[in-house]
Structure 1
Amino acid sequence: MEQDIFHMSLLDIAEKIHRQEISSVEVTLGLIQRIEQLDTKLLSYVNVLKKQALDAAQQADLEISQGNIRSPIHGVPLALKDLFDMKDVPTTNGMTLDPVIPTSNATVVNKLLDAGAIILGKLKLTEAAFSDPHPNIPVPLNPWGKHLWVGSSSNGSAVALAAGLCFGSLGTDTGGSIRFPCAANNLTGIKPTWGCVSRAGVFEFAGSLDHVGPMARNVADAAILLQLIAGQDPNDVTTFEQVVPNYLEEMTKGIKGLSIGIDYDFILGKADADTQRVIRQVIETLKSLGAELIEIDMPDTTPAAINWAPLCAVETAVVHEQSFKQFKDQYSPSFSKFIEMGQNLLATEYLKLIQFRRDFKRKITAVFDQVDLLLMPVSAFSASLTDLSEKFSEDKDLFEGIVRYTTSFNLTGHPTITLPGGFTKVGTPIGFQFVAPHFQETLLVRAGGDFQKATNWHTVQPPMSDL
């Protein structure tokens, strides 16, 4: 099988499968063999579901041959961050505790299975989706360079996708965990509006901050995945009743005429030289596409970066209340410290944080009275080294620089799309993001789709030469 096939877009490989130019079984088996060949070094998978995936692929081929194509992704192998429940499949949540054996599927897993997707396996993540990996669990390697940061908790999802070991994946984002891995691995990812996608059957890090979203190679692939998993769910009372748009159709409307807010000092003032250069190039591309660029003043996000951690820690402490009492010795020192911060926070302090969050959300929401979208970097730092970024939960200045553009939109629940925007001078990826009003993911795919029509950054594949 041609190696290029493994780096095709999800929708392109789907078209080949649906035309019966290649079978789902052939593609799935080829991926399994590729995982066996490459993932001993990359370490992106926790569990490859060989028999289950091949059985599902065989069923998909049969249905497709009979003209029963369930969805645009029928027969395509995807993979899941290992905190999504799959019935009878062990779920590690990135921890050293005994795996959980779910008795049912997460809602989003059921939606993918109903669409005829092939679930190839479960993917690595940091400890319980925290910023740092457990020291006893090997971290996936960035295929762009083994000494580069691979991104935070959805790291296995990004590595498998970038290395051609699946055609799409699902991740979660509590403070940047879809956006950082996508930026670090030259991928596209959508963090939807909080409440747009069900979290039922998804292990919580901090429920009011957790967002479930797709990770893909381009906007169209991410859009179709979002369309399939979005929508109200009776098993998740935090989901909102919203009509799920046809995102691929909305993409055709393009970016022309959309107003994009830019606070130049905010997005460039603390960014390193490579990030500044890429963001300026992105701005010029947006101008050429007919977007209306409007200078704005962003609310101060420094308190948001500071307050995100204790807010998150309180919710995390509740999630781990029982297991932390029983198995504290199996928690890493950094994650233990984080949980203890949540346990020790006074009720009065927590109430002040809740009040801050409410007021901050109102301020960010008000910005969209002026513009359709916001333009942001993903991080102030490009191509962070692994040994540097593994310290960011302990280094306040480093932490603020990394989460400066991400945690705010977890606190407010606004949707974002992360896109490849260019490369450092040494050839490693830099991503950027658009932010939209609540439940306006259509604006994200319109802007992102046109940007990717005008550029080819997202088509560049990692060299994987120094692994």
Structure 2
Amino acid sequence: MTADTTGLAFLGLMEVGAMIRDRAVTSREVVEAQLRRIAALDKELKSYVLVLEASARAQADEADREIAEGRYRGPLHGVPIAVKDLFWLKGEPTAAGTTVHRAFVPDEDATVVRRLREAGAVLIGKTQLSEGAYSDHHPSVTPPRNPWNGDCWPGISSSGSGVATAAGLCYGALASDTGGSIRWPSAANGVTGLKPSWGRISRHGSFALAPSLDHVGAMARSTVDAAALLAAIAGSDPRDPTALLDPVPDYSASAGIGGQGLRIGIDPAWNGADVDPQTQAALAAALAVFADLGAEIVEVRFPDVTRIVADWVPNCAVEAAVAHEASFAAHRDQYGAVLAGVIEAGQNLSGTDYQKILLRRAAFRGEVDALFSSIDLLLTPVQPFAPLTLKKVATLGEQPELITMLQRYTCPFDMSGHPTLTLPGGFSDAGMPIGLQLVAGHLKEATLVRGGAAFQAATFWHHRHPGI
């Protein structure tokens, strides 16, 4: 008997995973429903660069066989998950949003992809991203469209992952964040984005933008779903010596603790500086929710971010110049103007200026570490204004003032390496999602999961989805 799959698209990852485990629906039925939805919607949304129809069906059939035989692998078993086209997928093109790498076909999976396979996830496709995971899509690429409103920005660089997750075209997606690339698409598309501590997840088998800033993470429609993805892909990796050796906690256990006793830090001056009233109202409402949950609200003074935000661009530029050294020298003409300009700026920065940036960055991380001696979580905006229109960001890479404003609450935590969680926190007057950010101490992802799950248990923002 075939199950009714009409209402599956916007179920949570954990929810549909439990249905597959209990054989209320098969993985193959879920995958077929997803493929039909992708075929119907993604011609307009452009979230996928590659849909893996045949292999997804084969993976689903294998998952159903294993589950029927009692070989259940965990909450991701049989669940369709998307992969940002930054991560290697054996035998499939991996272009990283570029034309220069469009013929690259890796002969192995990225570590995070291999771990998803080991968890039994069904890899349904590869999602689009901006060129090289920087600020603008390559001129030859049609950017993904925001499913809430096609005239609004879908965020960068993990734009396809955010759109696909929000539109019900997957149950979660791999993403990455160098300056805000998990948080902006999560906020813009109304989904939950988890950027763990730098080094919590292996980067082996992923194209680099700026290795010391690049964070691998996940997007889903709830904190508990994002935590399930994190649990599957986190941990040490001999193929990536920068992956941390610390054991991976049981994040699911943290999700049920609640908010009682959490110390939530808030810097009213920083959070209010040139932040629009709608975002400020969402922050105030979130604080009220946490207070009702029994959290302690603590006023703090966050370190001045002016210098560290200004330092992000040259820091990223130098590392991007190294990451693209060989391909840029041989194929300069295949690069878009924005990414090419960043690489050239990195090539021209002096060693002494770069060393000054590194020293300031180390000091800033120390200041942020010290802050978390008195609080458990910090609450901030994701960006200082309600979602942007495409017209406003048409040439984002050529608008340094806009980039600086956008990065005020995001890139400091890539520079410091601290983990963050982006949560849907309300809607603008125009009906667009507003995202909020929780930040935790180094390797305190479990605390993020605790706070985010408690907030979402008391609110409904993450249950809303675009009417498509």
TM tier, smaller? over 0.9
Query: For 1:119-144, what per-residue CA distance to the aligned partner results, in whole angstroms no more than 9, with x for missing partners?
Result: 00101000010011112100000001
Contact 1:376 1:433 in 2 (8 A): yes
| CA distance, structure 2, for counterparts of residue 133 and residue 373 of structure 1 | 33
1:300-339 superposed matches below 5 A:
300-339=304-343
- Does residue 71 in structure 1 map to residue 80 in structure 2? no
- Does residue 31 in structure 1 map to residue 31 in structure 2? no
1:52-451 superposed matches below 5 A:
52-97=55-100, 98-451=102-455
Match of 2:52 in 1: 49
What 5-or-longer segments of structure 2 have no aligned partner? none
Contact 1:302 1:400 in 2 (8 A): no
Shift of 1:37: 1.0
Q: Partner of 1:387: helix, strand, or coil?
A: coil
Query: For 1:150-179, what per-residue CA distance to the aligned partner results, in whole angstroms no more than 9, with x for missing partners?
Result: 001100001111111111101000000000
| CA distance, structure 2, for counterparts of residue 289 and residue 389 of structure 1 | 38
Q: Work out which of the residue numbers 450, 462, 465 in structure 2 matches 1:458.
A: 462
Letter of the 1:340 partner, please give it.
E
Shift of 1:277: 1.2
Query: For 1:326-385, what per-residue CA distance to the aligned partner results, in whole angstroms no more than 9, with x for missing partners?
Result: 111111111111111100001111111111111111111111122111111000021111
Shift of 1:183: 0.3
Matched positions, count:
464
| CA distance, structure 2, for counterparts of residue 389 and residue 424 of structure 1 | 18
Q: Partner of 1:389: helix, strand, or coil?
A: coil
Q: Partner of 1:393: helix, strand, or coil?
A: helix
Shift of 1:214: 1.1
RMSD: 1.0
Contact 1:372 1:443 in 2 (8 A): yes
Shift of 1:68: 1.0
What 5-or-longer segments of structure 1 have no aligned partner? none
Letter of the 2:260 partner, please give it.
K
Q: Partner of 2:398: helix, strand, or coil?
A: coil
Letter of the 1:188 partner, please give it.
T
| CA distance, structure 1, for counterparts of residue 179 and residue 311 of structure 2 | 12
Shift of 1:2: 4.1
Q: Partner of 1:458: helix, strand, or coil?
A: helix
Match of 1:15 in 2: 18
Letter of the 2:346 partner, please give it.
G
Letter of the 1:92 partner, please give it.
A
Contact 2:5 2:29 in 1 (8 A): no
| CA distance, structure 2, for counterparts of residue 304 and residue 134 of structure 1 | 27
